[in-house]
Amino acid sequence: MNAKNTMTIDKTVIPIEGEKNILEVVRKAGIDLPTFCYHSELSVNGACRLCMVEVAGRGLMWACSTPPEPGMIIQTTTQEIREMRKIIVELLLASHEQACPTCAKSASCQLQALARKLGVKSVRYKPKQRKMPLDMSSDSLMRDPNKCVLCGDCVRICAEVQSVGAIDFAYRGAQSAVVPCFGRELGKVECVNCGQCARVCPTGAIVPKPEVEDVWRVLDDTQYVVVAQVAPAVRVALGELFGLDPGTAVTGQMVAALRKLGFDRVFDTSFTADLTVIEETHEFLERFKKGERLPQFTSCCPAWVKFMEQYYPELLPNLSSCRSPQQMFGSLCKEMLSAELGVKKEKIIVVSIMPCTAKKSEARRPEFEHDGLRDVDYVLTTQELAQMIDEAGMPFNNFEPDSFDMPFGFKTGAGIIFGNSGGVSEAVLRLAVEKITGARPQQCEILQVRGNAEVRELELKVGDKNLRLAIVSGLGNARNILEKVKSGEAAYDLIEVMACPGGCIGGAGQPVYREQNVKRSRTKGLYDHETLMQLRHAQDNPFVQGLYKTHLDGIGGHDAHKLLHTGYQSRRRSSDEDVPVHTAGSTAQEPLEISVCFGTSCFLRGSQKLMHDILDHIREHDLGRKVDVRASFCFEQCDRGPTVRIGDEIIHKCTIENIEALLAKKKLK
């Protein structure tokens, strides 16, 4: 050991080996230093101060934001530090609604765990008095501002990892709060429903929107045939909630539990993932042959689809028209079971078990509803399924394995690996290579598409063709790739995008995790599970082949297009209503109304800066009682932003100079 590159932690000499902060060195020394706002995948915030250590000659320092230096002598748990940590946790608890037994995140609440770990047995400070209403506006997420402790984790992951920024800090001092833009409800802003904010929230301030009671209600009603479909990633994560290691496949026990809960049929979404492989590959090869609408983007992830609709509507023709496996299953199941059982479609209830919160909102998209009936009625997360099993008092780990029902329970390995980032690409390539070359490759695995990197680019030689691919997880990474495609800096034929880092195995509906090795274990679990399958190419699924003959008029047929495909359209980043930004108040004179468009096109062309300039101008010229300023939202089809309406006049490509000139013309200076 090089003594010149070491530091002493609690009397133990520890080498410094490239760690970026003291916290990493302390944890390497085997000390579980408490943290609250620290996430290895996010920027360092240093808001909670729980990771304080005492550095000889320097006093108390924050381990998460202080780089290690050779020769440092550190103590991690002096009496002063222990007392200060308790005070910090007490203050957090005082500013947080203490309804722990009924909180959705009670079992995984980091604040609760810290209080227990640090020996906090009482709170000496007055609780926050103001009670805020629940935000239930989103189809995917529930926000409880009373449980927010202002750690900023949700803000950082939304901005830094997902590049959406749907939620942020507002106000100052005791009024500080984390809110969606313009103080609106979450369901009325540009949130894409990925739920990563709920995943990193250490309390119950943001959680997946529950649908458990709705599902219990239909299970108890004998007039319904209730069907479950289970996504691939659920089977390697559900066991964590019953004490099993991450990545442990519990497929058989899961099916048995669903039967005991009262589901009439239990099917596997991997079946329609196989179907998606065939439809998407057919679509891709047609485009590739013609050189049209390339790159083709995958369309399995609803958060990614909404992201495209909001921010890149000009690239929507490049999205695959395939529905996600969840929605393919819903349309097929209601069509076929209705005929098979002689039951009206409205009596068939489809419940999805998903690792994802965005699937909840996807099920409610208007294009997936026909004659007042949704293709998928309810979506439960992995967490919610575990809750139902617990509510029913079932000994999950003691269940004898059971098998899925046919035909929608039969799948190949190609459908199973959909849960991993890169899985869709690999499954498509297994078929595309055979279609292009006329021969099946000897090795089933296409290892070039696998890996932990959140952006993977590769070029494959297939026969006499070169296929250029990108595999991306995390919407911030997707944005970077899209900008390269738009500028011509990068060219691809196929791009797979998953909104959640790592793919569906890292979805916000999965058991809460903080360590990255959990995600890797789930990924390995899916690949190991897939390796055991006798059939590993989607085109080999005999029930899928039969479906094309009996119900779908072949690949690309009319019925296949009707039941398995959809379309997309430009989507507003926010709801229609204007948002007041500055109000003149009661005046004798009718105030002049100024509206600044914050639609995507205008936003990207500088409407946010223009709004700041307008407000600065109002303050500098004492116009506060003469004007109303609002943020408005259009259909985002224009290319002439930023657009501003002043009274009855509309200015395109507006600048602050245009505003000043028009205000002067109206004798407002």
Query: In this predicted model, what pLDDT tens digit does every residue of 605-664 receive, in sequence order?
Result: 888 889 889 888 888 888 888 888 888 876 455 677 788 888 888 888 889 988 888 888
Over the stretch 414-445, which tens digit does the pLDDT of each residue have? Answer: 999 999 999 999 999 999 999 998 888 778 88
Domain boundary among 77, 101, 130: 77
Query: Is the separation of the CB atoms in 53 and 33 below 8 Å?
Result: yes
Answer whether residue 423 is part of any domain: yes
- Other residues' Cβ atoms within 10 Å of the Cβ of residue 55: 18
Where does the pLDDT of residue 33 fall: very low under 50, low under 70, confident under 90, or very high at 90 and above? confident
Token output for 268: 């596997």
Answer whether residue 572 is part of any domain: no
Domain boundary among 506, 533, 564: 564
Q: Which residue has the tokens 């920027």?
A: 43
Same domain, yes or no: 196 and 284? no
Same domain, yes or no: 583 and 543? no
CB proximity list for 28: less than 8 A, separation 6 or greater? 14, 17, 19
- What pLDDT shows up at residue 95? 78
Q: Is the pLDDT of residue 242 over 90?
A: yes
Query: Is the separation of the CB atoms in 271 and 543 below 8 Å?
Result: yes
Token output for 171: 């106000």
Over the stretch 185-219, which tens digit does the pLDDT of each residue have? Answer: 999 888 999 999 999 998 889 999 999 999 999 99
Domain boundary among 538, 564, 590: 564
Least confident of 63-67, 463-467, 572-576: 572-576
Query: Is the separation of the CB atoms in 324 and 298 below 8 Å?
Result: no
Q: Which residue has the higher pLDDT, 640 or 358?
A: 358
Q: Which residue has the tokens 């959140």?
A: 454
Q: Mean of the per-residue pLDDT values for the chain? A: 88
DSSP-derived letter for residue 189 is S
CATH number where 602 lies: 3.40.30.10
Catalytic machinery residues? 280, 283, 300, 320, 359, 362, 367, 504
CB proximity list for 613: less than 8 A, separation 6 or greater? 656, 659
pTM: 0.85
Same domain, yes or no: 251 and 358? yes
Task: Note down the domain range covering 593.
Answer: 579-665
Same domain, yes or no: 177 and 38? no
Q: Which residue has the higher pLDDT, 211 or 588?
A: 211
Phi, psi of 471 (to 5 degrees): -115, 120
Over the stretch 180-189, which tens digit does the pLDDT of each residue have? Answer: 987 889 998 8
- What pLDDT shows up at residue 586? 64
Over the stretch 91-148, which tens digit does the pLDDT of each residue have? Answer: 888 777 777 777 777 777 877 888 788 788 878 877 776 788 899 999 999 999 988 8
Query: Is the separation of the CB atoms in 629 and 594 below 8 Å?
Result: yes
Amino acid at residue number 342: G
Answer whether residue 595 is part of any domain: yes
Same domain, yes or no: 337 and 439? yes
**Pairing of β 465-473 and β 494-498:** parallel
Answer whether residue 131 is part of any domain: yes
- What pLDDT shows up at residue 486? 92
What share of the chain has pLDDT > 90, as a percent?
Answer: 49
